[in-house]
Structure 1
């Protein structure tokens, strides 16, 4: 099939690369010409495991990128993969969705080929029907019979997105017609996964609900972990016993600093605002956010209890990305931790295998190192904030510290003499 992907960001690039890997002819439309050039050279502009390997196999063959909409009329499916960042009140900003819809409608005007315009961006329920469809159809005019509309949410975990795309738990397709759904389903025919077909609104809501539920599991685990720490119980022993219940499962029960990244925080807030707009009071969802926002402060509180006043103390921070296997620091729990440390006058040394360049843009004044050992020299305490596998091998490096006070926000360390934020 001929597929066009609007947006060469995280979701768009992974989506386009994987569809090309499956044998489709894929065109990425990315307004940043420098990013488009990198993609055409087989160089990923973001870090994602296995992405570079797939780009090298497909770029210049059946995958290409451009910064204009020429040739869009050849596409069987057009995936909208643009960002939906939060507005000041937490609701989804749909300006990029609107812009992409206008550009698609203008580019397809006069086309006689049948196209399926498919939203993959995370959007509030009703967006495809009330915003994307009217804009495109108005611009098409007499050509409105040549298009169908679908909503096909993505369920990609950063750091594991390629595997998630190629081995999905399910493929969800909401459609305006059976024909539109059939076309999108055909694009996924090489994947072994159940296909769930729904209305457009239901497909949009499935994405929000999935992320909100996973975020709820994390905040629930953290609240239980905070209680367990007070009474001397290892929360990981508790959750191991809880997670083996098939009705619950063990995933997303790891207590720690809370969730971050580009999806969970913004999607839960957007769902809260959607509920409020429709006259509902989302008490549980507000609590999920509240617990998550308070959790990073707990590790600083423990630090104060262990070493006293931290003003002028040398604190090492290991882990800056919001999770392992990515360089993404969006809503990373390390940001509020570092902010609070700086407010208290700490001197910070930091190390992360991937994310230090991204974090430099936020905190240019702290000391960044290229390995954990250098970051630990002379430290009064160490906070481990990201679950990078290489941190599990650390042991002798901690002997370089002035005092061996080690507190982790993710349970990754295997050495002795450590303490967890809620265990």
Structure 2
């Protein structure tokens, strides 16, 4: 199939590479000349394991190109995926500025196109967005009717950063919300080579499924952290507790999030918890658990700070700054928040994260790093060994496997704070786990 993807960020770039690997012809569309140039050079605009190789292979096979010209992209494709950001507003609602902008572009391009075209929203949006925002814009700008002159639907993604390619190839399910039967047929054909169940629902249900999954994942993280905190307070290793709880595969679902550790972060979970909570408030629906998730998550960052503060040392070395290992994504990273708390209290802080260091020079997050958090990024160390030598407290921030060797060489008489679960034993005088 001929596919155009608007937005060459985490979702768009991964989908472009994976779809091209399956023989589809992909046109990436983005307003960033830098991202377009990188994709056209067969290089990944983001840090994601295996993505460089897939994009290079797709480019070499002539199946991937990128452009800033949205008209050409629409004219030379049959399906368009909208994969642009939907960032949080200050009140917790979503900003739909990017969604609205690309919907207008697609609509204008469809006005003079004779062949039927299918438009699929891949971005995470609240229930009602496709039918109440995207559809009216497309119809107004194209002067055509959804379900008659062009297809319309939503296809929520379930891609985790750092494992996105495997998640695309081996999804738990493929969810599509289709406005019309032809869109459902086209999407079923597109995903016919995946072994996962193909689930086609009305658009509003598909929108809600995505939010339900993300808020459930966020809830599991907060729940496991609270159990771990209580367990530690009574002298119990919370990891042992949750390990047994997770052995119940009938009732206790998904081991991935169900483990004590540090706060959740990234571009999805915080944003989606806030958005669903905001919508519930607008509907006068009381959701005490959902309303408590973000405060609970913020408390986990505060717990980490309190542990460090309680050690009475001022020279702190932090391993990891991105919210998750093997990614450069700093959006709503709890480690950035922890770093800012330490800086604000006058600690001498040094940070090592090779992916963030790469992104600060080459990556798509370069502008964010230098523009939004220059006071934190200025503390990035290039030599992890020097960082360790100059630190009195070492903080294990994310699960980068290379940190294991550093943990093994860390002196017993120095302090360690483990936020990730690398420690093989519960806390003692010098080595503190956040929940064990």
Q: TM-score scaled to structure 2, two decimals?
A: 0.92
1:122-153 residue CA offsets vs partner (Å, 9 max, x unmatched): 00101111111111112222565320111100
Pick one of 395, 404, 421 that aligns with 1:392. Answer: 404
Summarize the Cα distance change of 1:227–1:109 in structure 2 as closer, same or farther, 3 Å threshold: same
Please state how far the C-alpha of 1:396 moved relative to its aligned partner. Answer: 5.2
Paired residues of 2:92 and 2:275 also in contact (CA < 8 A): yes
Summarize the Cα distance change of 1:363–1:383 in structure 2 as closer, same or farther, 3 Å threshold: farther
Q: Note if 1:160 corresponds to 2:173.
A: no
Q: State the match for 1:327 in structure 2.
A: 328
Q: State the match for 2:30 in structure 1.
A: 30
Paired residues of 1:23 and 1:62 also in contact (CA < 8 A): yes
Paired residues of 1:36 and 1:66 also in contact (CA < 8 A): yes
Q: State the match for 1:314 in structure 2.
A: 315
Please state how far the C-alpha of 1:360 moved relative to its aligned partner. Answer: 5.9
Q: State the match for 1:93 in structure 2.
A: 95
Please state how far the C-alpha of 1:363 moved relative to its aligned partner. Answer: 4.2
Q: State the match for 1:286 in structure 2.
A: 291
Q: State the match for 1:206 in structure 2.
A: 209
Summarize the Cα distance change of 1:377–1:151 in structure 2 as closer, same or farther, 3 Å threshold: same
Q: State the match for 1:177 in structure 2.
A: 180
Q: State the match for 2:390 in structure 1.
A: 378
Paired residues of 2:318 and 2:351 also in contact (CA < 8 A): yes
What is the DSSP-based 3-state SS (H/G/I as helix, E as strand, rest coil) of the residue aligned with 2:355?
coil
What is the DSSP-based 3-state SS (H/G/I as helix, E as strand, rest coil) of the residue aligned with 1:196?
strand
Please state how far the C-alpha of 1:323 moved relative to its aligned partner. Answer: 0.7
Summarize the Cα distance change of 1:143–1:241 in structure 2 as closer, same or farther, 3 Å threshold: closer
Please state how far the C-alpha of 1:325 moved relative to its aligned partner. Answer: 1.0
Summarize the Cα distance change of 1:93–1:81 in structure 2 as closer, same or farther, 3 Å threshold: same
Q: State the match for 2:274 in structure 1.
A: 269
Query: d(CA) in 2 for partners of 1:143 and 1:244?
Result: 51
Paired residues of 2:107 and 2:141 also in contact (CA < 8 A): yes
1:275-321 residue CA offsets vs partner (Å, 9 max, x unmatched): 111221221111111100111111121122222xx5xx211111111
What is the DSSP-based 3-state SS (H/G/I as helix, E as strand, rest coil) of the residue aligned with 1:107?
helix
What is the DSSP-based 3-state SS (H/G/I as helix, E as strand, rest coil) of the residue aligned with 2:175?
strand
Summarize the Cα distance change of 1:129–1:380 in structure 2 as closer, same or farther, 3 Å threshold: same
Q: TM-score scaled to structure 1, two decimals?
A: 0.95
Q: State the match for 2:21 in structure 1.
A: 21
Q: Note if 1:11 corresponds to 2:16.
A: no
Query: d(CA) in 2 for partners of 1:278 and 1:239?
Result: 35
Aligned ranges 1:18-417 → 2 under 5 Å: 18-59=18-59, 61-71=62-72, 72-142=74-144, 145-246=148-249, 247-249=251-253, 250-307=255-312, 310=313, 313-356=314-357, 357=360, 362-364=373-375, 366-395=378-407, 397-399=409-411, 404-414=414-424
Please state how far the C-alpha of 1:414 moved relative to its aligned partner. Answer: 4.8
Paired residues of 2:144 and 2:150 also in contact (CA < 8 A): no
Paired residues of 1:372 and 1:397 also in contact (CA < 8 A): no
Paired residues of 2:243 and 2:259 also in contact (CA < 8 A): no
Paired residues of 2:39 and 2:45 also in contact (CA < 8 A): yes
Where in structure 1 are there 5+ consecutive unaligned residues?
none
Where in structure 2 are there 5+ consecutive unaligned residues?
361-365
Please state how far the C-alpha of 1:46 moved relative to its aligned partner. Answer: 0.8
Query: d(CA) in 2 for partners of 1:121 and 1:318?
Result: 31
Output the aligned Cα RMSD. Answer: 1.7
Query: d(CA) in 2 for partners of 1:24 and 1:395?
Result: 45
Query: d(CA) in 1 for partners of 2:290 and 2:206?
Result: 20
Query: d(CA) in 2 for partners of 1:83 and 1:112?
Result: 29
Summarize the Cα distance change of 1:243–1:141 in structure 2 as closer, same or farther, 3 Å threshold: same
